[in-house]
């Protein structure tokens, strides 16, 4: 298993009713998209979030977060959150909502 399917299902439940929702296998895991823009995802047992450069800097000050360095080079607009940071359903929802808020500021992809 390349990613935690239970975590992916939890995220799916939070996003499935949103307009423009889709999912796609990427980054060795699963990504959740809104209007064609990558919003968040799951790789192994980590939550991956697209927050934008400004929001990433603030998020990295919080516990259980780190730069997303999938390619060996940090991606400036994305972070990983380790399991203790989203075990609680309210925490997971908060993280996913932060990513949704950022992605909603982007133009839809066609």
Integer angstrom CA distances of residue 26 from 30, 54, 87: 6, 24, 23
The average pLDDT across 38-44 equals 96
Per-residue pLDDT of 45-75, as tens digits, reads: 999 999 999 999 999 999 999 999 877 888 8
The structure tokens listed for 24 are 């796609």
Assess whether pLDDT exceeds 60 at residue 1.
Answer: no
What SS3 class is residue 53?
Answer: helix
pTM of this structure: 0.94
Which residues, in sequence order, are CB contacts of 105 under 8 Å at separation 6+?
52
Question: CATH topology for 5-103?
Answer: 3.90.1150
Which residue from 22, 29, 15, 27 is spatially nearest to 99, judged by alpha carbons? 15
């Amino acid at each position: 298993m390349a990613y935690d399917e239970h975590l992916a299902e939890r995220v799916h439940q939070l996003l499935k009713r949103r307009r423009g929702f889709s999912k796609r296998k990427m980054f060795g895991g699963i990504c959740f998209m809104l209007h064609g823009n990558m919003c968040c995802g799951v790789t192994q047992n980590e939550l991956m979030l697209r927050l934008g450069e400004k929001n990433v800097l603030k998020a990295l000050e919080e516990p259980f977060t780190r730069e997303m360095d999938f390619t060996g080079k940090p991606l400036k607009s994305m972070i990983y959150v380790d399991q203790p940071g989203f075990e609680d359903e309210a925490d997971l929802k908060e993280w996913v909502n932060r990513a949704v808020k950022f992605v909603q500021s982007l133009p839809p992809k066609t």
